[in-house]
A = this chain, B = another copy of it.
Amino acid sequence: MSIEVVRLHPERSDLGYAFGGREPLLTVKPGTVVELTTEDCFGGAVRGVDDLPSRVCEFPYLNPVTGPIAVEGAEPGDTVAVHFVDIRPTRDWAVSTTFPHFGALTTTHTTAMLHDALPERVWVYDVDVDRGVCRFHARQGDFEVELPLDPMHGTVGVAPAAGEVIMSITPGAHGGNMDTPEMRAGTTAYFGVNVPGALISIGDGHCRQGEGEVCGTAVEAAMSTVIVVDLIKGASTAWPRLEDDEFLMSTGSARPLEDAFRISQHDLVGWTADLLGLDALDAYQLVSQAGLAPAGNVVDTNYTMLAKLPKAILSGAVVFDGVHSRLRAAGARYQSERG
């Protein structure tokens, strides 16, 4: 049986800037492969060091997302799975910037201080997909260095609960702008469904990012991305979960950062208890000794932490009947068919 493949290449006028409040651009059956393209977080408007975002971008038309994609049969109380088969920068350059009142080491509108904003500055990276690197050029002096490409999407999620419409820059229980480097090819993301169709949107591709995304932006790039979408009926998922070949990952997005940490760890403890049939305190103990806890972002309107557990210690327990392996295999099949 061949895999169904559909394409979603939105026009600029079709881009979204929020989760919720929008009709689907596309409806797909569970199991479908979607080839899609995304613009960068500046809508492609920052193309050189003189294109200051505060001048060339217009609030709130920032962080455009491609979607929503409706999944047939998805109802509140279900979970949708989004497996990333491929994420590939479409240009040979990418950009990063400081932006007034945005970032972890600057006064912001929330951490409000009497300082003037830090200077706004743009960095243009050379991107070489074949060699798998992007090149940083210092703006002062001539320091340069190549960094490995590790393409990912900062923004992936579904329509929120309670009819809310949430700017694409905000991460939360619906996913959104979690800005974690773990959202790379090979990862399956699980989201609880809040509205019929789930309404998945994806954007904010990064050639790579550090954990925490401390200056506020990553190596921002337009992407050509392939996903496989699936549906798990009757399984609710309170906060986005990720899975790759090595790790289970829970996310939490909140402020202060310790609450993001608490949400993610609480979720991972419950997940571990469920998978292994453990008492909550036993799972708490096991996660405490075996888990990892990297920052996603510490700059957005909510901060994101991840809680990771190596699958090696799960004694073979599998999530949702092995959906990650199945989607990974489907992705491989798609890739071998495309050549």
Contacts and interface: CB of A to CB of B under 8 A. Distances in A.
Interface stretch (A37-45, A79-87, A113-121, A240-248): A113-121
Interface string A200-212: 0000000011111
A18 B139 contact: no
Highest count of chain B CB atoms <10 Å: which of A163, A278, A280, A315: A163
Interface string A95-136: 010100001111101111111101101010000000000001
B143 A278 contact: yes
Interface stretch (A4-12, A25-33, A223-231, A286-294): A286-294
Contact of A139 (B143, B269, B277, B281): B281
A143 B265 contact: no
A265 B140 contact: no
Nearest to A111: B259
Report, as a range, how many residues of chain A touch the other chain: 35 or more
A309 to B, nearest CB: 9
Contacts of A143: 276-278, 282, 315
B285 A136 contact: yes
A303 to B, nearest CB: 6
Contact of A294 (B96, B114, B289, B294): B294
A305 interface: yes
A21 B162 CA distance: 12
17 contacts: A17-B163, A60-B162, A105-B284, A110-B259, A114-B284, A115-B115, A121-B281, A140-B282, A212-B265, A214-B284, A214-B293, A215-B287, A216-B288, A219-B289, A257-B257, A294-B294, A295-B295
Given A105-B284, A211-B292, A257-B258, 4 more contacts: A106-B114, A112-B267, A214-B293, A254-B255
